[in-house]
Structure 1
Amino acid sequence: MESEKLIETLEDAGLSPYQADAYVTLLELGASSATDIAKASTVPDPRIYDVLRSLQEKEYIETYKQNSLHARAHAPEQVLSDLRDRATAFESAADEIEDRWMQPDIEAHNVSIVKRMDTVLTQAADLIRSATSQIQIGLTPAQFDELEPALAEAKANGVDIKLCLFPKIDESATVPATDRLAETCTEARWRKVPSPFLALIDRSWTFFSPHGSSTNQYGVIVNDRTHAYVFHWYFISVLWEVHEELYTERSTEPPTSFVDIRHCVRSIEPYLDKGIGFDATVTGFDTETGAEVEVSGKITGITYGGISDDDEENLPLAQLAGEASITLETDDTTYTVGGWGAMIEDLEATRITINDYIER
């Protein structure tokens, strides 16, 4: 239903033309100043304050002071109740209001801004269930409870899941039991201070929302690999690298697998320095053609942009922030294998499975 038709239907339901126009405009803008609502609608500036107060009396919106008069739409239960008591046309208008309040159609957009955390969690759950490769997610224990069924389904499908838990502001938190973590993730860590909700799915989807005490409440849903890669580094550096391990099923001995090239390089470098190679299988994409590939061979070398420090037990993350790749020799050829966003390598790996040690 177009906005003009929605306004006409609301007028039929008892709102004045200015009330209907202001209310639909507010649904589209979200929380806004009276001045901005007047500019975006046909309501004259001198009338906007009376119109907003009349909508507040009907419990459609609420007004508040923030330097100047501002307004935001209530959750639309009262509006829906009014409309659904009427004929079929009013039922259609109620559904439209509900849709506009809850969410845009994320299938039609690369970037969506939503107004409620519930929308972020609902949409994230759907994409988590359909994940095929990897998930990185940071959330509170309460959000974990809500997404637990979706995470368990993805884990059962073989998806690699890194999960960072953190408390909600001003609230104590109970960490999920180990058996629950084992059913829902590959690895889990605990961050002692609150953080925004973040979920990265299959290197493409990003779900983000500020923590619950933030002044601005909104959610961002983006389907874009470059955007996701930026948040991947936020996840690794802020939510993962330095925090307490709660659970892991990753073995330090073969067979073991990696979905992040840098974690793989960090783990195998000490062995390569001692002359030990690896029998490995790489699943991913040909960077030139985009075709899916799976190749097996011997890892005989690594490349990274930083400078190794012999005093460091493991490579620091900062040394791996630039180029990071492995060399894989098969019976027929030699491949360079990169990670997320690989451009100069032959292959972009989505999973590297270390099958066994070999002598080089």
Structure 2
Amino acid sequence: MERKVMKALRLMGLTDYQAAAYTAMVSLVSAGASDVAEASGIPRSRIYEVLRQLSDRGFVEVERGKPLRYHVVPPAEVFRREKKRIMKELDEAMNQLRRTYEDQVARVPAPVWLIHGQEKIMKKEIEIISRTRSELKMRMGFIFRDELRELRPAIERIVDRGADVRIMAPEDLDLPCEVRVVSMPPVRMFVRDSGEMMWIFSRFTPEGSPIPETAMGIWNQYPEIAENYSRIFDSIWYGESYGGAGGI
């Protein structure tokens, strides 16, 4: 347990001495510097500096006087504040890296990848959907287990941003967008902003369920191909005649 506590405090950015001093303060609640040094094993020559650092970080409060007295800030308050700070920093870093990734991914010289397995396909699917700016078109000839639960919040986010999301499926789906029931083969295809798309195939059990380990996705970033399939999707959606459209 003590090891986990020290690891958590280090994740918050405390040094070993700071973590040891805070842990000692939790057990003491209120104490002088010498008592903290004795309880934590920190040399007396360092304890005042360590406690000052903890005070600056909001882990302890200092009562002025002679000698100084220190009061611990309750762990629930500290952890709540630090979790909020860490999550904010992680979100900012993620958004910065995501923007860099999205700017660069279209410039990669090999814009077609094969993706194997349900888990990896679904992660890539959610990633592509999250990049949608104006429109997303999906033909869902089959559905992985628990996939709708993953898709729903991703689609809600882009719909809230104003994206037009249309889905064709062999049955009605509980998703926050327009869904049209259409007869189709057990093959998946979706197009994002007429510039990126993915085909998804799988083998099936005798009962008709996709076999996760056999699933394969073809991720395609050729805009010309994606735009062509976007037009085919529209021709079927609006009931127009389009050569070869029935095969998608």
* Structure of larger gyration radius: 2
Which has a greater percent of strand? 1
More helix by share: 2
Greater RCO (Cα-Cα under 8 Å, separation 6 or more):
2
Q: Same fold (TM over 0.5)?
A: no
